[in-house]
């Protein structure tokens, strides 16, 4: 069912996405690819893609939804992670990994897992042994993290970097809904970041094209034994801009018996709240917050070419150097709030456009 609002985990419920899924599956099987990230705007299906890919993978994998883990404390998070690994591997394999570890003369057997692995050195010994045992079996283990950016606070990026360098049998598949923070975790443009420069492959999810949204809606309604009119499709396409999460939500509301108008209205209202929050996350650490907001307002009212933008700032007596403006536009593009098309900078998400306007 396409209009089920839970993230998908079965290929048959995943609309399109074959290209991204095939790429991802290929990367997961390739020995030399050890760090993979799934990127995309909010609600473009990253979690769904991750779930389906892991589901289809023959090798062992452990998926952590960081939001559901104790992510505030390293000494709680690592035991949690190790417990998840324990649950996924064969008991005999687990025994082999664990039998070799004895921290400070005290063996794992004598203590609880939580306590034993609250010690950093035992954690390192564990991953070392895990890697050795995997190597013996010529196997890899995929560690997948959704909402990885939350682990930056406990410096999990250092762990990923050291595992990447030292534990060749481990692979990392990472995603997160806050694009900018995901980049931060990965150390983009930050030489001092532990993960900076590590070879990493990206799978990117984009909005659906008009034709694809149309097909998604038609097929989704067909699964319900219902039909959707041409006019309704047109409105959904123009107002939800091919974001599959919003379109799924619309379909789900229709499935629950709500009218076309009501469903669309509700999706847009909730969308606006989310977009505002996303924008706040982006703006709050930035000093030039006010200028960014002005800039977005100019773009929203069509003053969207370089000279027009400069003139708009001038008219409002706000000083912005060329280098600054260049940086603002680049940052906004990097975080996918705007897109450059020909010479114009566009806010391409209609829900975002609405949020900026009011
Ligand atoms: N390819 C797809 N086919 C059908 N439904 C999908 C597809 N991708 C996503 N969805 C639906 O869209 C919604 C959002 O999906 P998902 O949670 O996977 O996106 P996300 O990118 O992880 O979102 P977020 O950025 O909030 O973490 C869910 O209701 C999911 O069922
Ligand atoms: Mg997600």
Topology of domain 286-357, CATH: Arc Repressor Mutant, subunit A (1.10.10)
What pLDDT score was predicted for residue 58?
85
243 CB contacts (<8 Å, ≥6 apart)? 41, 42, 43, 44, 207, 208, 349, 351
> Which atom, in ligand 1's list, is nearest to the CA of 4?
31
Cβ–ligand 1 contact at 176 (below 6 Å): no
Six token digits for residue 30: 């390739």
Assign 202 to helix, strand or coil: strand
Cβ–ligand 1 contact at 271 (below 6 Å): no
Q: What is the mean pLDDT of the chain?
A: 91
Six token digits for residue 165: 């360098």
Cα of 105 vs centre of ligand 2, distance in Å, is 42
Cα of 101 vs centre of ligand 1, distance in Å, is 41
**CB neighbours of residue 69 within 10 Å:** 17
Cβ–ligand 1 contact at 207 (below 6 Å): no
Cα of 299 vs centre of ligand 2, distance in Å, is 28
The candidate with the shortest Cα–Cα distance to 314, out of 330, 325, 329, 326, is: 325
Check: CB of residue 90 under 8 Å from CB of residue 117: no
What pLDDT score was predicted for residue 110?
67
Cβ–ligand 1 contact at 177 (below 6 Å): yes
The candidate with the shortest Cα–Cα distance to 39, out of 168, 148, 182, is: 182
Give the whole-angstrom CA distance, residue 116 versus residue 82.
11
What pLDDT score was predicted for residue 257?
95
Read off the pLDDT of residues 200-244 as tens digits, 9 standing for 90 and up.
Answer: 899 999 889 999 999 999 999 999 999 999 999 999 999 998 999
Residue with tokens 């999706």: 267
Helix, strand, coil share (%) of the chain residues, nearest 5: 60, 10, 30
Give the whole-angstrom CA distance, residue 64 versus residue 146.
6
Cα of 302 vs centre of ligand 2, distance in Å, is 32
Give the whole-angstrom CA distance, residue 129 versus residue 135.
10
What pLDDT score was predicted for residue 104?
56
Cβ–ligand 1 contact at 108 (below 6 Å): no
Give the whole-angstrom CA distance, residue 80 versus residue 78.
5
Burial 248-273 (b: 16+ CB within 10 A, else e): bbbbbbbbeeeebeebbeebbeebee
Cα of 47 vs centre of ligand 2, distance in Å, is 4
List the chain residues with pLDDT less than 70.
102-107, 110, 180
Give the whole-angstrom CA distance, residue 54 versus residue 61.
7
Residue-range domain boundaries for the chain:
11-205, 210-271, 286-357
Going by alpha carbons, the residue nearest to atom 11 of ligand 1 is: 245
Cα of 41 vs centre of ligand 1, distance in Å, is 11
Q: In a mutational test of the pocket of ligand 1, which residue from 43, 53, 67, 213 has the highest number of ligand atoms less than 8 Å from its CB? A: 43
Read off the pLDDT of residues 269-312 as tens digits, 9 standing for 90 and up.
Answer: 988 898 888 889 889 989 999 999 999 999 999 999 999 999 99
Q: In a mutational test of the pocket of ligand 1, which residue from 17, 41, 217, 245 has the highest number of ligand atoms less than 8 Å from its CB? A: 245
Q: Which CATH superfamily is domain 11-205 in?
A: P-loop containing nucleotide triphosphate hydrolases (3.40.50.300)
> Which atom, in ligand 1's list, is nearest to the CA of 252?
29
Give the whole-angstrom CA distance, residue 238 versus residue 153.
39
Six token digits for residue 62: 């452990």
Domain 210-271 has CATH 1.10.8.60: yes
Check: CB of residue 148 under 8 Å from CB of residue 50: no
Cβ–ligand 1 contact at 150 (below 6 Å): no
Cβ–ligand 1 contact at 8 (below 6 Å): yes
């Amino acid at each position: 069912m396409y209009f089920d609002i839970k993230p998908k985990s079965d290929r048959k419920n995943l609309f399109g996405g074959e290209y991204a899924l095939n790429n991802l599956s290929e990367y997961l099987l390739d020995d030399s690819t050890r760090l993979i990230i799934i990127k995309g705007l909010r609600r473009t299906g990253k979690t769904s893609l991750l779930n389906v890919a892991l589901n289809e993978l023959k090798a062992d994998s452990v998926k952590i939804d960081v939001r559901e883990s104790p992510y505030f404390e390293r000494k709680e998070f690592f035991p949690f992670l190790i417990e998840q690994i324990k649950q996924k591997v064969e008991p005999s394999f687990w025994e082999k990994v664990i039998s070799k570890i004895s921290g400070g003369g005290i063996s794992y057997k004598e203590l609880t897992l939580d306590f034993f692995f609250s010690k950093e050195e035992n954690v390192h010994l564990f991953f070392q042994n895990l890697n050795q045992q995997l190597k013996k079996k010529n196997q890899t283990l995929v560690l997948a993290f959704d909402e990885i950016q939350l682990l930056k606070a406990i410096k999990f990026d250092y762990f990923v970097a050291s595992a990447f360098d030292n534990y060749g049998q481990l692979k990392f598949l990472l995603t997160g809904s806050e694009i900018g923070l995901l980049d931060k975790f990965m150390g983009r443009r930050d030489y001092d970041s532990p993960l900076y420069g590590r070879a990493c492959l990206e799978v990117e999810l984009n909005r659906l094209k008009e034709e694809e949204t149309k097909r998604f809606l038609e097929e989704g309604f067909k699964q319900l034994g219902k039909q959707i009119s041409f006019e309704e499709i047109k409105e959904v396409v123009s107002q939800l801009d091919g974001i599959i999460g919003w379109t799924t939500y619309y379909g789900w509301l229709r499935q629950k018996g709500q009218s076309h108008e009501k469903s669309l209205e509700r999706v847009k209202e909730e969308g606006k709240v989310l977009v505002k929050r996303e924008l706040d996350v982006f703006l709050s650490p930035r000093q030039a917050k006010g200028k960014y907001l002005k800039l977005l307002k100019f773009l929203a009212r069509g003053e969207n070419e370089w000279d027009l933008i400069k003139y708009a700032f001038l008219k409002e007596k706000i000083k912005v150097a060329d280098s600054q403006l260049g940086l603002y536009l680049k940052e906004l593009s990097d975080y996918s709030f705007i897109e450059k098309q020909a010479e114009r900078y566009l806010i391409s998400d209609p829900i975002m456009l609405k949020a900026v306007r009011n």
